[in-house]
Amino acid sequence: MLEIHTGGIVEQKAQALEARRLSMGFALIGLTMSMGLVVVFCLSNTWWAALLAFGLGCRALATLIKMYNLKISKED
């Protein structure tokens, strides 16, 4: 009974780690894409769109920082 319970905990931790990695990956993709859009919109002189893309990039960066800090605190 104890082994089954521990296996469940290990499985839950593995799933949580995978979900964290997946969301970090999506946040990194979002950061890269939004910074690329900032460059494109700045070159096309569309300042409002560049500002919007910059805001989205900042949000993706905040998500990355939050996930990284969560990872550090889980390892301690």
16-30 pLDDT tens trace: 777 777 777 787 887
Residue 1 has pLDDT above 70, yes or no: no
User: 62 or 14: which carries more pLDDT confidence?
Assistant: 62
pLDDT at 58: 85
Q: Is the pLDDT of residue 73 over 70?
A: no
| Long-range Cβ pairs for the range 17-22 (8 Å, 24+) | 20/67, 20/70, 20/71
Q: What is the mean pLDDT of residues 27-51?
A: 83
